[in-house]
Amino acid sequence: MTQYKIPMSSPDLTDADRQAVIEVINTPNLSMGKWTPAFEKTFCDLTGAKHAISVNSGTAGLHLCVRAAGIGAGDLVITTPFSFVASSNALLFENAIPVFVDIDPKTGNINPELVADAARNIEKFLPRKGADKSGKLKAILPVDVFGQPADMDAINAVAKEHGLKVIEDSCEALGATYKGKQAGTLGDFGVFAFYPNKQITTGEGGVIITSDDQSAHFMRALRNQGRAPGDTWLQHTHLGYNYRIDEMSAAMGASQMTRLDEILTKRNQVAAWYEARLSEIPGVETPYIESFTTRMSWFVYVIRFDKRINRDEMAKKLDARGIPVRPYFLPIHLQPYMVERFGYKEGDFPVTEDLGQRGLAIPFSGIMTEDQVDYVSNIIREEVVKA
């Protein structure tokens, strides 16, 4: 195995974050204690959302939003194939159908014109098999890809016209802003995630935000084995899940949330160092930031090679030189279980496939030094010049 000189990603933790966890494990309250609501409050403070509901993964958060939006078997939801699989899987858990539309070639975010076309003429956008034409269109599920918000005004306009719910998958975009508004607040529901490669981490964890009281109460019940307010430990009003976050994770997350601005600023600096070095290399494209992205919340740093450079060969060469890299994203519609169920074929979403073939995430975190960025950038330059 290659010895990597620089990790693909790193959490940005301080002694205060570690101390917060130690304090919890010195008490008997390891779940459902004071840290869960304290962690949630930091999200209400950041976003202005009325409710924040913490869960034990971003995927769990998306699943609860799907339930709260009343999306069920056979229902149709317009979403993007250029994402981490969880955004579509949350629909499949309820046997709802992700109806894919292609993306904007610059940002990789869902193309709002295609969202509008699909809402008007959903039959034309259904997969070859596995979806019933009588399915009802219920929602739009955009993803804030790589930390940049989707064009939410345009998406919300379509939702309003057709009476659809909007679930914003902001799992990659904590703290980003769109026209000055926080990512996650732009639809009916927003979801954040805290796996260790995200902007803040709780090990595993997620948070849902919403300003809808009824949905919030329902999601709190579902998170806690379906116990509604007033239920005892062994009474379950709803079919629920154990999607609770534990107190160690919540305390660690609350501690990091006090430094969110600093964490995002450091990540922005690392991205700027890369941009300065990589944008001048012919054959390498650096990320495109829309004018409506008023704050980017850098999640991963994904470069694109032009068509004459074979991305997979380049990935092997960089790996062999001790630079870990990862193709980002492998399109969802071409994952084996999606092909089997819906009959997707290569060529179905050409922009998604093109970005999927040319994009490569390179080492990125807020604790990278300028020397490390130099080191990675120089090796990329050398290998691209040779290619």
Ligand X SMILES: *Cc1c(COP(=O)(O)O)cnc(C)c1O
Q: Is 182 in the site for ligand X (CB under 6 A)?
A: no
**What is d(CA 167, CA 118) in angstroms, rounded to the nearest whole number?**
17
* 207 neighbors 53 (Cβ within 8 angstroms): yes
Contact yes or no for 186/152 (Cβ under 8 A): yes
Task: For residue 206, state whether it binds ligand X (rule: CB under 6 A).
Answer: yes
CA distance 181 to 295: 9
> Does 225 contact ligand X by CB under 6 A?
no
Dihedral sign for Cα 336, 340, 346, 347, please: negative
CB of 369 to ligand X, least distance (A): 26
Consecutive H or E run containing 42: helix 35-47
Binding of residue 104 to ligand X (CB under 6 A)? no
230: left (phi over 0), alpha (psi -120 to 50) or beta: left
Minimum distance from CB of 153 to ligand X (Å)?
A: 20
The number of residues that bind ligand X (CB under 6 A) is 14
Asked if residue 47 binds ligand X (CB under 6 A), the reply is: no
Shortest distance, position 198 Cβ to ligand X, whole Å: 6
Return the residues of window 265-324 that contact ligand X according to CB under 6 A. Answer: none
Does residue 193 interact with ligand X by CB under 6 A? yes
Examine residue 200 and tell whether it contacts ligand X (CB under 6 A). no
Q: Which residue is nearest to ligand X (CB)?
A: 58
Sign of the torsion angle spanned by Cα atoms 100, 102, 106, 111 = negative
Residue 193 CB, shortest distance to ligand X, in Å, is: 3
CB atoms inside a 10 Å sphere around CB 261: 12
Site residues (CB under 6 A) for ligand X, limited to 130-169: 143, 169
Subset of 55-74 contacting ligand X (CB under 6 A): 57-59
Using CB under 6 A, list all residues that contact ligand X: 57-59, 83-84, 86-87, 143, 169, 171-172, 193, 195, 206
